[in-house]
Amino acid sequence: DVAPAMEVAPMAAAAAVDPANMYHILLCDDDPIASCSIEEMIYQIELSMQQLGVSVAIKLQCAASGKDACVQLTKTIFDLVILDIDLPDVTGFDIAHWYLKRSNAEHARAPARHHVRSPSTLVALTALELNDAVKVELNQLFSEVLPKPLSIMMLRAVLQRWLPRALMESNRQGEPSAPGTMPSEPPRVVRILQVEDCEIAGMAIEHLFKSVGCWVETVHDGESAMEKLTHSYRGSHTEYDLVLVDVNLPTVSGYALSSWYADMCRQQALRRAPVIAVTAEPDLAACRAFGVDRCLPKPVTIEAVNELMLQWRALHCKG
């Protein structure tokens, strides 16, 4: 018995992006070639996600000097700030010190119960060989330190780790209903098993799915997932509604885990929960071959999560 299939295919054409759910990134690098390269990589990431039907938009603003970056940081709220630490005028260290001090002062001045948005996530970019003392200082100021030149895979990973937090702060699902409207019946809670070896990425994805009412349990390797899935059945039905699998797991890959799960369910006549591959490089042919029902491209966004859950509920909550 197999749960209704969620086809491995690109989604329908992506809907227009709500401006409130747009990612804002500031890149500060005095090397114009490096800036152009990162700008092109972000465009390629957007394009690959849109080809899968995921509505996502990243607005990148570039600053060629530390002074320019400071000016932009006073005018715009950014979700992510990427700073070259070796700038010729105001260094990335100086910008980070100034920005965090300014943000802390804003929080201190805010009235009680008044929401002040968290500071932007700061990521350092450097081509320098760093000694231990510099590394310690960097780790106190920045969420992450990246080596130059930056590859597209590294950039995808950074977006996956740090951008979902930004959208969660603007998530309006918890807002009360308009006056005079009846609250809708709460949807059934969807139970999800997530298999993700990166703890930060796992927490970000878990946060996104919990924000739309899902229950999420996370394990960090294929062996733990096998144990969870094996003991998840009551009769022929599993307690999980969806299984999210990172393709690039250590020891047992996401593809191998999906193939094993399909074989186990087939041999024991069990109902298989749909398997969703979470990957920066979706390969639809490989997904079909290994029993994956759907691809969820990295970086995972709230738009993609909403679209996935709408499709799941349409298949499983009829009537």
Q: How confident is the model at residue 20, as a pLDDT?
A: 55
Whether the bond between 299 and the residue before it is cis, its omega within 30 degrees of 0, is yes
What is the rounded distance in angstroms from the CA atom of residue 80 to the CA atom of residue 25? 5
Q: Identify which of 310, 313, 274 has the alpha carbon closest to the alpha carbon of residue 3.
A: 274
Average pLDDT score over residue span 279-293:
84
φ, ψ of residue 292 in degrees (nearest 5): -85, 135
Identify the DSSP state of 218: E
What is the rounded distance in angstroms from the CA atom of residue 308 to the CA atom of residue 319? 19
Share of the chain above pLDDT 70, in %: 78
pLDDT in tens, 75-132: 988 989 999 999 988 899 999 989 988 887 776 676 655 444 557 889 999 988 888 8
Q: How confident is the model at residue 242, as a pLDDT?
A: 94
Q: How confident is the model at residue 117, as a pLDDT?
A: 56
Which residue has better confidence, 314 or 69?
69
Which residue has better confidence, 3 or 301?
301
Answer positive or negative: Cα dihedral of 46, 218, 145, 168.
positive
pLDDT in tens, 13-54: 444 555 556 788 999 999 999 999 999 998 888 877 776 666
Average pLDDT score over residue span 301-312:
85
Asked whether residue 63 carries a pLDDT value surpassing 90, the answer given is yes
Asked whether residue 69 carries a pLDDT value surpassing 90, the answer given is yes
CB-based burial label for 274 (10 Å; 0-12, 13-18, 19+):
buried
**Tokens, residue 38:** 């990162």
Model confidence at 260, pLDDT cuts 50, 70, 90, reads: very high
Average pLDDT score over residue span 233-256:
89
**Tokens, residue 179:** 């006056």
Instruction: Point out the least confidently predicted range of 158-167, 191-200, 227-236, 294-303.
Output: 158-167
pLDDT in tens, 160-183: 777 655 444 444 344 444 444 444
